[in-house]
Amino acid sequence: MSLDRQRAQRLIETLPDMPEAARRLAPNHSPAPPKVANSADVTPAALDRRWQRLPASARAALLPNSPPIEPEDCARNIENLIGFATVPVGLAGPLRVRGLHASGDYFVPLATSEAALVASYNRGAHALTDAGGCTALLLNEGVTRSPGFVFANMVDCGRFAAWIVGQTDALRAAAATTTRHGRLDDVRLAIEGDHLYLFLDYTTGDAAGQNMVTLATAAACAWLLENAPVKPVRHYVEANMSGDKKASAQSFQTVRGKKVTAEVLLPSDLVSRRLRTTAAAMVDYWRMSALGGVLSGTLGVQGHYANGLAALFLATGQDVACVAEAAVGVTRMEVRADDALYAAVTLPNLIVGTVGGGTGLPTAAACLDILGLRGAGHARALAEVAAALCLAGELSIIAALSAGHFASAHGKLARGTHPAPSTS
């Protein structure tokens, strides 16, 4: 019997008798508790009403008398507020970055409850800084929305496509009515039968831009529906071809957000002193892990971008769901002359901003202040810092795995059996 079949058999054996199972799994139409009404009201009275149906014991933890954020400060960021999730914030650094937009030594706040994460990124940051910093380059930027149009037949679809090719300027003007900071840069299309997908590529200034491009696309679609010589049967503002909040081959090959690459050359003595291994050992491990990624079908080849990005996103008020696409990319390592280690990362989907969204909340603003990247003019620098952080994390985890320290480090830090070792 195959392993999958054995597991299925064990699951079946754990089920209750069939009549009882059928009763428990059948639809339940008994009266439900009162529904939570969608509301952005954050007054004390509104909070009290929501807590009437919740365990009183939880209120002190989620809504203390002195909350980390005043409820009125986040009325535009959440609905049905009941309190705040407190996530520890650790510090890694200095992380020295020599970029087109980020230049200097950065102390990076990381919000996480995973022990060993901050220590690992901190170790990698020290290695980069001791090497004189890493080079980081913003290669491309743009955020796409992909509205979809359904036609009665392929002929109508083709006529619409032929017409729309010459409408870029008009679409750009329509999109501009909704934003002062975003710009529609390019219009592309794909046809599948009687379906047409548009790709509206925007730049979004210093905002991550997800909401910005949605509103701009809605305005562009309204203009299309009013002026098109061939009317679609129906349309959607997003037809799931943009790669929004999901890993996709399309975004991996182009850009979604900001595409950044970062590199460093670590002398052999620095690899030994900071990372407790050798360049050859790290490249041997990287080679096997790269093939493992190919065999498992991952998009890109990297160790754990999501760890650092999720912690950075939480700390700085980014849309954490965008880690699904941001944590796609390629890590590469080579042994160079005199046993030095060359390492590079490339991330094509960094959706980050320094204005708008959650960046204005007090804790996020404070973390951006720590980085020195709060407000307008800093989004590109934040993207380069994010890539440098990922490079630091890749160096540390690959060093630990190549030297056999990965499990023991987690045992010491995550289980608290020993004090965390100093890396100063």
DSSP-derived secondary structure for 200-261: EEEE-TTB--HHHHHHHHHHHHHHHHHH-SS--SEEES--S-S-TTS--HHHHHS-SEEEEE
Which tokens is 409 given?
Answer: 């480090």
pTM for the full predicted model: 0.92
**Nearest residue to 363 via CA among 172, 77, 120:** 77
Q: How far apart are CA 229 and CA 231, in angstroms?
A: 6
**What's phi and psi for 285, nearest 5 deg?**
-65, -45
Return the CATH class of domain 147-236: alpha beta
Q: For residue 306, give the amino acid letter.
A: A
Residues with catalytic annotation? 114, 319, 410
Q: Where are the domain boundaries for CATH 3.30.70.420 in the chain?
A: 147-236
Can you read off the two tokens belonging to residue 388?
Answer: 């440098």
Burial (CB < 10 A; 0-12, 13-18, 19+), residue 320, is middle
Which H helix or E strand runs over 93? Answer: strand 89-99
Tokens representing 141 are 């930027």
From first to last of its 424 residues, what are the pLDDT tens digits of the chain?
567 778 877 777 766 676 777 888 899 999 999 999 999 999 999 999 999 999 999 999 999 999 989 999 999 999 999 999 999 999 999 999 999 999 999 999 999 999 999 999 999 999 999 999 999 999 999 999 999 999 999 999 999 999 999 999 999 999 999 998 999 999 999 999 999 999 999 999 999 999 999 999 999 999 999 999 999 999 999 999 999 999 999 888 999 999 999 999 999 999 999 999 999 999 999 999 999 999 999 999 999 999 999 999 999 999 999 999 999 999 999 999 999 999 999 999 999 999 999 999 999 999 999 999 999 999 999 999 999 999 999 999 999 999 988 766 666 666 565 555 555 5
Structurally, at CATH architecture level, domain 89-140+257-414 sits in Alpha-Beta Complex (3.90)
In terms of Cα–Cα distance, which of 156, 166, 170 is closest to 221? Answer: 170
Intervals of CATH 3.90.770.10 along the chain: 89-140+257-414
Report the C-alpha gap between 55 and 374 in whole angstroms.
Answer: 38
Q: Which SS3 state, helix, strand or coil, does residue 257 take?
A: strand
